[in-house]
Structure formats: C-alpha cells, structure tokens
Structure 1
Amino acid sequence: MSERILIVDDENNIRLTLKTILEEEGYFCLLASSGKEAIEIMKGQEVDLVITDIWMENIDGIELIEYMKKHGIDAEIIVISGHATIELAVKATKKGAFDFLEKPLSFDKLILSVKNALDRKKLKEKNKWLLEELNKTTPLIGTSPLFQKLLEDIELAAPSDGRILIYGENGTGKEVVAKTIHFKSKRAHMPMVDVNCAAIPEELIESELFGHKKGAFTGATENKKGKFLIANGGTLFLDEIGDMSLKTQAKVLRALQENEITPVGETKSYPVDVRIIAATNKNLQDEIEKGNFRQDLYYRLNVIELYVPSLRERIEDIPLLAEFFVKKFAAEKKIEPKEITNEAMNILMSYSWPGNVRELQNLIERLMIMVPDDKILPKHIPYPINKTTPESEALLSLKDAKEEFEKEYITKVLKITHWNISQASKLLGIERSYLHKKIKKYNIEFNEKINQ
C-alpha cells in the first residue's frame, strides 16, 4: 500500500500543488486546511508523514508537532514556511521535525526530503520490531558438547545466505535456533516471518504463503499479501515443513527455483528475495521413501543441516536452563527468585523430558507460581517427574488435569489411526489444523512402532 502523506496548509493552491506532485510519485495524500482539521484526520486514521506550514490560525505548525509528540503519533514531519528564520528552523527540528523547507518550494528538494523522511520511518519501525523480537526470544543456553557443536554451527551458518534445514524433536527450541540465525545474519534488519505449515488448513496454505487476489476464492474479500512478499529481503521460517502437502511443496519448489511467486488468482509473478530456514521433527528421508515429501525440494532446502539435541541428550544443561527460567519468571511475575535445592535438581536431571526444554520451562513456571516457599524441594516436584511423589499430591489444577487427559486421549486416537491426521481429527470431532496445534502444544511425538 502507498505511504500516506497528510498535507497541512491554509493556502488551497499549495495543498493541491503538493498533492499533484506527490501523487505522481505514487504517494496517497490527505489534505487539511488547518492544524485543527489535521488533528481530526489523525484521530481517525494513521499517516506516515505530515507536511505542515508553520503560520496558521488557531493551531500553528509548532503546536501541531507538539500535539503529535504528546499523543504518540509517530509520523515523520516536514515543516514548510514562507517566513523562515534560522531560529524557527532550529525550534521546529528540536520539537521533532525531520526537515524544514523554505517557500517557494523546490519540488526536487521536496521529493528527496519526503523519500528520506519515509525511509527513516521504515528504519525506525524495523529497529522497533527487531528490539521486540530480541526481547521475546529465549537465548540458546548450554555447555554440553552436543549443544556447543550446534552453537558453533550456527556461528558458521548465520552470516551466509544458504538455506537451512533444522531437525529436532518438539520442544527442543528449533524456532529459537531459527531466530538466532536470523539475528546473526546480514538480513537481521529485515523481517523474519514464521509460518507453521502444520497449523494452517491445506486449502489455505497457498494463500498464506503466496497471497491472493480479491475474489480468487470464496471468502477472498480483499487482496492479501503472502508471507513470501512480507518477508521480502528478510527470512522466511517454514516450521513443520514435513507436514506440508505435496501440492504446496511443488509451489514452494518453484518459488525457490525462480525466486518469484504468483498469488492465488493472479497470472502476474512477483520477484522475491528471501532466505529460507525450515524445521521439522520428522525424518524427511523416510518421508521421501513413503512418497510424502519431494526429494527435489529436500535438496533445495537441505543446503545446511542443523540438529537440535533433545534435553535428555544434554542432561548437564538442565541446571543452567532451570536457573534461567527461574530468573525469567521471577522478573515477569515480579516475585523473588526461588532456589532449587540439590536434591530437587537431581530429580530434574534424572527425568527423560519427552517434552524437552518446553516441558522444563512449563514446570519451572508452575513451581514459581505454586510453591509458597523460597526453596523448591523434591516434594514440590510433581509425578511423574518425581516418581516418589504420590499422584494424589501432584500439583495439578483442574485445568492441568483436563489437559493431561486430553493429551492421553489424543495420543490414543493417533495410535489407533496410525497417525493419519484426517482420520484422527474426524474421530475427535475437530479440525485438522486444531489437532496439529494440540499435537504441538502437548509435544506428542510420532512413534514408528505404532505402525508395526
């Protein structure tokens, strides 16, 4: 969508002239004849840039800048004036204006200033997004040999533009690895866009990835930009790639081969420049033999292969992870950190952790909430992690008990249907995409033995 520019001037001919010039450059323009009218417009819609005169009745240009800053309107501001002084230009800049231009305007200079102002706004938005993503991302923690090997591989792989395929069980932190690679890459200043291939219904996955044209199918009430275009210049993370349908795999393969995509319902193709990072908890070589995954797509994706070890393969990292989560949840919940005693830590290190780091994180969060003391003792650790804790004493709320039953029942149905997601979802009476979400939430792992 074109950037939106609000032009504020009490002279009608100046407003219309600026509108004509800027619309020829591809911008969308809104007009206001006063500071008061400009404020009313900004109350109802967002704008990217405000070009305002200084001398206006009631609310002048300086007062308009002050209003915008006070109310958190982060549009860039260019001030224009026919009575310019150095003092006035300095004042406007100190208040937050990006540029100050004298009338009569040089249109070439104006166009350049508009471009620079909008470029700065985009950069500020990217930096804000990057900071938010960094704050949300759990760091990669571990000193075990397997994990250190992973960290070394990440350092080597990240600066390149090579496609990466990440293997690992559910809950091991494949998404964290992908984000770490992105933030260490040359594309860190551009977006990283996530797509969970298992959670999106098959009939919508193409629209999600490539976008669609209005009217392309029932429910397509407006044009939609796909994830490939949203991630353009940055990184596209295809999580659970092993669950993608063969039809969609063919479309993704073409996008990787041609570096272009075609939205659903369109004939025009659009060039894209994205780095692909894919992740799976499945053995794709086995999936290829079964006819569930394209071999040519596998070779396109598997330029660099990374393995994220399970938690049971790096037991020695549990104390570091547990301590990190204690501090994390103490800060989030504004409570004092708790000490995990040596006896309690030994119990944590003796458990197999089928849900991996995610399961450990969930346990520590529960203990930080439910344990009233400042120390976490063996008695606080619930069954089955602590085998000596009677099931009747387990720290299970009604919600947790319901979830435990749901996990067991879904697992049972999956075994009965030999992991046929369509059959299992019909038996459970839920959508395929909702079943995929439950499988991921409960870290239910595919077991080859159920087919034997």
Structure 2
Amino acid sequence: MRVTSSPTTPEDRIIGHAPAISGIRDMIGRIADTPGNVLICGERGTGKELIARTVHRVGRTASGPFVAVDCNTLTDALIGGAWPPGSMSGLQQTEERNLLDAAAGGTLFLDEVGNLSPSCQSTLLRAIEDRIAHRLPESRTAPPPPRIIASTNWDLEEAVGSGDFREDLYYRLSVIRLTVPPLRERKEDIPDLVRHFAARCSAEMGRPAPEFEQAALDAMIRHDWPGNVRELESVVQRAVIFATDRPVRVEDLTLGGSRMPTTGPYSADLRHALRDFERQHIARVLASFGYNKVATARALGIGLSSLYRKLEELGLSTSTHHPRGHGNPPVHSEESASETGDPT
C-alpha cells in the first residue's frame, strides 16, 4: 500500500514540445484554477503522475498536500475508514483521518484507478458524493475537499461498457480528461528528454553530464520504447553511469533488454536474422511488462513454460525478477507465486 504526501517542485516539469505535449501543457493552464476532477489516461511509464503533480503545483490546490495512493492495493477500509495517527506515510497526523481528510485542501491522486475492485469503486463513489461526511469537523478554518486526479492505463469507457467499472464513478472522475501520448508518438522529444535525464543523473553523482554521440541519439529515436519515458530514463541512467569521461556511444545503450550492437558485419542468414529478431522482440515485451513473465507470456500468445524455454534458448536471463510496474490487470488469479511482487 503506497500512500504518500510529498511536495511538488518546479523540477517536476513536463519536458518536450511535441504537439500532444504542448496541448497538455496548454490544457493544464486552462484547468489549473478550476475545481473539476481530472482523469489522466495513458500507457504505463508515460508520466501520468508527473502530469498530476503539475496540475497540483500550478493550480488552486498548490498550497495543500499532494497525496498519492496506489489503487492496486486500496481497500474499502482505507477509503472510508478512519486511520489512526501515524498510519499514513509522509503525513502529519494528530487525529484519526480518512483518505479524503488527508488530502483536504490539496490533491488526492488515485494512481491506476482502473484496478479498483467493484467494492472499492462503490465506496469511493460514496465518499466523493458525500464529501461533507468525510471532511474534518465543520469550522471556518476547515480546508475545502481535495481535488481528485485519477490515472489509468485502461480504456475505462470500454470497462464501463463491460460492467467492470462503474459508469457513475467514471463520470465523477472524468470531468476533465487528459491523454498522455506514448513516447513512440513523440519521438521529437527524445533528445530533450535524454539531456534532462542525463543532467539529473549526473548531478546526483556530482559530475558533469556527458554528451551523447549522434549515433546513440539516432538509435534511441529508432527504438519503439514499449516502457515509454520510464524506460528511456532507465536507459539514460545506465549509460551515464558507465560512460565516464567520454561521450555516450551507441554500444553504451541497453535497449529492449540487450546491449545495442556496434556497427559492423551482420549475418545475412535468414535463420540467424529471425533468431535475432525473436530475441529482441521477447526482450522488449519482457521489459514492457516489468519482467513479469506471466504477463509477457500472455502478451506473446504462448504458454509460460514455452516462454521459459525460449528465454533459455535465446540466452535471456530467466532468474531476473523485477518489481512489477503500475497498470497490471486487476485480476491475477493464474499468476504463480514466483511472479508476484509489490507494484512500484
């Protein structure tokens, strides 16, 4: 369970000038001083929480708390119940409070709201529709109810149509809707993002940010980025760490789970080419699902045992278990114990 209250800073800024990003930046300026709830849609790793923090930082709730909640593990009691003092990480509690109380006067960010159980959806809807009952005792100094910003990587309209998500809750959350594009649709922003992540990583290590050779930038622009901006940040961090006292080269990049080959001779043999493609494709899909092998096998349309066999045949690691990222399907009944993990 992740419930945190942390400040937003000017460093939490949106990087890029692609038309879709410029449109989001313009929309944020228009909605900043309005009270409407916001639904942010987009694939995993596109920066939905960054968008939410930006709305908070430039809007009417900037002086209040920003409370981020991971909906993957949210329960009815955590939504509507009274939490004892000290039970919310990062929050200053002096009395029993519930989730909306904790974010009063600020922003309540519901991360991956599409993963809420039907029961939690009902409890959240009641809390939203009866905010007065969930506020601090009435007084002239009581803060206003929080603005709710929810994120999802699911098509909630489709989920409403299938009965998996409450229609009335959907309309309560989607007064204002923002859609964050995947990185593959805004590749013109990659050089700026690379420089931004390189500078930040280098500053943390106390050394100058390295330059990136054009071949390295070209390789990153060609990449499909199934993990989106989160994957790009990870690739840049690794490259900066190992490229000391020289520019980052294409061979310093690890894209799709494997190091990029240097320019040189290649095999024209079709079988070798197909094997190389299969290896790169499986590595990319594996990375895009946070190294969750059950989800990867499902996406590839093969059985879990077949995936393990291919990982062994292609020389890909079968022992690496990374924390699962946001946006996994709400139901994992078929997952094996070895593939479970806390969401990040």
1:58-107 C-alpha deviation (Å, 9 max, x unpaired): xxxxxxxxxxxxxxxxxxxxxxxxxxxxxxxxxxxxxxxxxxxxxxxxxx
1:160-203 C-alpha deviation (Å, 9 max, x unpaired): 111111101111110000010011111110111111101x15xx
Letter in 2 for 1:422: H
Partner Cα distance (2:77, 2:329) in 1: 26
- How far off is 1:260 after superposition? 3.4
Distance 1:326 1:300, change over 3 A: same
What SS is found at the alignment partner of 1:327? helix
* Among candidates 284, 289, 300, match of residue 172 of structure 2: 300
Q: Is the 8 A contact 2:18 2:188 kept in 1?
A: yes
Normalized per residue, the structure richer in strand is 1
What SS is found at the alignment partner of 2:186? helix
Partner Cα distance (2:198, 2:8) in 1: 21
Partner Cα distance (2:205, 2:65) in 1: 29
Partner Cα distance (2:104, 2:43) in 1: 29
- How far off is 1:421 after superposition? 2.8
Using structure 2 for the length normalisation, give the TM-score: 0.72
What SS is found at the alignment partner of 2:216? helix
* Among candidates 299, 306, 310, match of residue 182 of structure 2: 310
Question: Who is 1:134 aligned against?
Answer: 9
Distance 1:190 1:360, change over 3 A: same
User: How does 1:30-429 map onto structure 2 within 5 Å?
Assistant: 132-134=7-9, 137-198=11-72, 200=73, 205-212=75-82, 224-261=96-133, 273-384=145-256, 388-389=261-262, 407=291, 409-412=293-296, 414-415=298-299, 421-425=331-335, 427-429=336-338
- How far off is 1:429 after superposition? 4.8
Distance 1:238 1:291, change over 3 A: same
**Higher RCO, 1 vs 2 (CA within 8 Å, ≥6 residues apart):** 2
Structure 1 residue runs of 5 or longer lacking an equivalent are 1-128, 215-222, 264-269, 392-401, 442-452
Distance 1:224 1:370, change over 3 A: farther
Partner Cα distance (1:383, 1:300) in 2: 40
1:200-251 C-alpha deviation (Å, 9 max, x unpaired): 15xxx2232233377xxxxxxxx85222111011111111010011111111
- How far off is 1:367 after superposition? 0.8
Higher Rg:
1
Partner Cα distance (1:213, 1:338) in 2: 47
Question: Who is 2:138 aligned against?
Answer: none
Partner Cα distance (1:255, 1:153) in 2: 27
Distance 1:382 1:339, change over 3 A: same
Using structure 1 for the length normalisation, give the TM-score: 0.56
Structure 2 residue runs of 5 or longer lacking an equivalent are 85-94, 136-141, 267-274, 276-285, 305-327
What SS is found at the alignment partner of 2:221? helix
Letter in 2 for 1:321: L
Letter in 1 for 2:46: T
- CA-based RMSD: 3.3
Partner Cα distance (1:408, 1:231) in 2: 33
- How far off is 1:379 after superposition? 1.8
Partner Cα distance (1:251, 1:144) in 2: 39
Partner Cα distance (1:261, 1:358) in 2: 39
Q: How many residues align?
A: 278
Distance 1:405 1:361, change over 3 A: closer
Distance 1:412 1:320, change over 3 A: closer
Distance 1:408 1:210, change over 3 A: closer
